[in-house]
Amino acid sequence: PHPESADHSVIEVRTAASTEIKNEDAKASMTVASIDLNEGDFAIIRGRVACVKRDHGREYRIHKPNDLNDHIERLLLARGMKSADITWGEEDPLQVQSGKGRRKIQKFLIPARTFLATIKITDLSLFEAAYLEGIGRKKSFGLGMFSIVTSV
C-alpha cells in the first residue's frame, strides 16, 4: 500500500542505536532508512518552531524576518549546527487546549512557523541530541522537532 493510504502508517523512530529488526513479519512490512552524518557535513532539515522568546521572565512573539533568522540561528548554534540558508514558511500557529474535568477548558495559540534550512554540523553529539529532543521552546507541544530531508 501507498504510505499515505489508510492501510499504511508511517512511524518515524529516532534512535542512535541499532535498527536491526528480528521479527520476519515485521521486517517484511517495514522500511528502515538511515543516514550517516559526521561533523563538517551539510544537510537539509525541515521543522516547525515556536516563534517566541523569553526576556526577563516574559514571553515575546517574534514577528520580523530578521528576528526569525537570528532566533533560528541561535537555536541551531546551541545544538551543534550552523545555518547556511533558511527559508521560512507561512505562519502556522499551534492550537492547544488546557484543562480537563471540572476545570474550564481554555484554548490558546502558540505562534509557530515551518522552516527549511541547509545546515553544517559543527558538533555531532549536540546535533544527535537535537535530532532526538528538538530545538527551541514549546517542545512539549511537539514544536522544535525537525526531520533530515537529505544530506548535501
Q: What would the mean pLDDT of 134-139 be, rounded to a whole number?
A: 85
Q: 67-106 pLDDT, tens per residue?
A: 888 888 999 999 999 998 999 888 888 888 877 767 777 7
What span, in angstroms and rounded, lies between the C-alpha atoms of 120 and 127? 10
What span, in angstroms and rounded, lies between the C-alpha atoms of 22 and 140? 32
What span, in angstroms and rounded, lies between the C-alpha atoms of 61 and 119? 25
**Residue 88 contacts residue 113 (beta carbons within 8 Å):** yes
Main-chain phi, psi angles of 55, to 5 degrees:
-145, 115
What span, in angstroms and rounded, lies between the C-alpha atoms of 128 and 148? 12
**Residue 68 contacts residue 113 (beta carbons within 8 Å):** yes
What span, in angstroms and rounded, lies between the C-alpha atoms of 30 and 24? 10
Which DSSP category does 120 fall into? E
Q: 7-61 pLDDT, tens per residue?
A: 554 555 555 555 566 667 666 666 666 778 889 999 999 999 888 777 777 777 7
What span, in angstroms and rounded, lies between the C-alpha atoms of 66 and 95? 25
Tell me the pTM.
0.71
